[in-house]
Structure 1
Amino acid sequence: MSSLKNLDEVRRLERLAFRGWPALEFQDIQGWHLRFSGGYTKRANSINALDPTASPDIEAVEAAVRERGRPPVWRLTPLAPFGTADRLKARGYQPIERSLLQRCPLHDGFRAAPAVEIAASPTPAWLDAFATYSPVKPEHRETMQRMLQVIAQPAGFAFVQHEGRPMAMAIGAVEGDHMGLFDVLVMPEARRQGLARRVTESLYAWAWERGARFAYLQVVATNAAAMPLYAAQGFRTVYEYEYLIPPTS
């Protein structure tokens, strides 16, 4: 994907995803978008390209991140300037988690399942389940709750419970004609019951009613459990990205 039109679409989806899973703070420097959220999730604590023609001063960007007490984690999409990965690898960075941004068209055939509750904000039971099964480290719980409060609106927090026990959950964030799908979780005791499909398709139906005509998600390429479901729902890869993490010593 190299045409200007395609890169504009990557940029649009990147900005949607930034707001769908928001960082608590950010800084733009030399064509890169630096995201800070106290170390909670790589996505919200990463260095992201905005302009493929802006070759960064890697040391200056690293310094800006280290000033916040965080290791510099680069997230390289097709917007990254040519050769950035090679420059980072020469400095000892290691690539991890090749991931895909996928998108599917929504339609009015997606139906909400009666067992799936969708709330405009996370309930205490939803938060407890998310913190337990995500999992969220105790020191990150406050950060997690703050991030959930500033997700792009309207937001939908989907939840399935059975006899007071959490079974499955996910987040949808609608902006314009797109809905971002985040953090689809099915608890171990509830797997292989079709709950991931019911939770996600309930969110697609919810988003359709709010004007969304596409859904997008970000998934690790090796997630063999999720990929068949997303493919069956109509998701196709728009672009790939990977993280590069600094050497540990």
Structure 2
Amino acid sequence: MASQLAQPELASVRRFEAAGFRAWPAANVHYDGTWLTRLTPAHPARRLNSVNPLDPGDVHHLEDRIERAGREFAAVGRTLTFRMSPLSGDAMSVHFDRAGWHWLAESLVMHRPLDDRLIGGAIDQIPMKDVPRFVGAAIKAQGASNILRPALTDILTAIQPEAGLFALEREDDEPLATAICVQDGDLAGLFEIATAEAERGKGYARRIVLSALKWARLRGARIAWLQVEASNERARSLYASLGFTELYRYHYRQPAET
């Protein structure tokens, strides 16, 4: 629970939360106190459409602020969603529990030192510069809808830190695996790692992750990190085998009537 974290741990959470916001920017962003609201009407992802409390002590006028946030989400056709990291604090969790809010989609934030021992055998790979081509490959690898193509393109072009777009493809240009690595100072964040369904279990995800991290290491990154859904056992097993360990968890909350 947030109240059990020592201050240095909370500072570490704040650092990785901020890096995550920079690496995966929402279309519209604003603050209510220390609550960061992120809205992206063109993309359904919860992390792009959620209220992110960033201070455990900022729990004043909860009902009024939650109602105001609900109107903002309704105006763009989204369900009010709070993303609950350790920065949200116990008081807000208790409030949502009493109101019967749903608990959804727990994820882990994992990290590890980015050293030569990890990436020594990685294959050198040059990131793609062709954003539309990468987006097409990523959508295929993920098995996602082409409807998301414009929104994903907008997200990638809005990333401010250096972003490496990586894809492994067959000779016929069909994607095997894709990944995004965002190098933000000494941090290398991995996002949207996906392997085409027919190609899973063949080591492509490991290969592309290591190549992406080698690229980031050569640019000065020293810590690798990622987010993974707690229910994704295959991905968690891969990351654990690469030496990633859990730093903290977050989950989403939505009103009981949804």
Q: Paired residue for 2:50?
A: 46
How much has 1:248 moved relative to structure 2? Answer: 4.5
Alignment of 1:202-217 (within 5 A): 202-217=211-226
* Count of matched residue positions in the alignment of Structure 1 and Structure 2: 247
Counterpart CA distance in 1 for 2:51 and 2:87 is 12
Counterpart CA distance in 2 for 1:72 and 1:219 is 22
Mapped contact 1:120–1:154 kept (Cα < 8 A): no
1:106 paired to 2:114: yes
- Name the SS of the counterpart of 2:73 in structure 1: helix
1:176 paired to 2:185: yes
Q: For the structure 1 residues 154 and 120, does the alpha-carbon distance in structure 2 shift closer, same or farther, using more than 3 Å as the test?
A: farther
Residue segments in structure 2 that go unaligned for 5+ positions in a row: none
1:111-160 CA-to-partner distances (Å, cap 9, x unmatched) read 4326x552245252x22122234344444321111001112321111100
Q: For the structure 1 residues 121 and 90, does the alpha-carbon distance in structure 2 shift closer, same or farther, using more than 3 Å as the test?
A: farther
Structure 1 stretches of 4+ moved >6 Å: none
Q: Paired residue for 2:39?
A: 36
Q: Paired residue for 1:7?
A: 10
Q: Paired residue for 2:68?
A: 60
1:16 paired to 2:19: yes
Larger displacement relative to structure 2 (67-76 or 167-176): 67-76
- Name the SS of the counterpart of 2:105 in structure 1: strand
1:227 to 213, 222, 236: 236
Alignment of 1:95-244 (within 5 A): 95-109=103-117, 110=119, 111-113=121-123, 116-124=125-133, 126-164=134-172, 165-244=174-253
Q: Paired residue for 1:83?
A: 91
Mapped contact 1:181–1:216 kept (Cα < 8 A): yes
User: TM-score scaled to structure 2, two decimals?
Assistant: 0.89
Counterpart CA distance in 1 for 2:148 and 2:168 is 24
User: TM-score scaled to structure 1, two decimals?
Assistant: 0.92
Residue segments in structure 1 that go unaligned for 5+ positions in a row: none
Mapped contact 2:141–2:178 kept (Cα < 8 A): no
How much has 1:12 moved relative to structure 2? Answer: 0.9
* Higher fraction of helix: 2
C-alpha RMSD of matched pairs (Å): 1.8
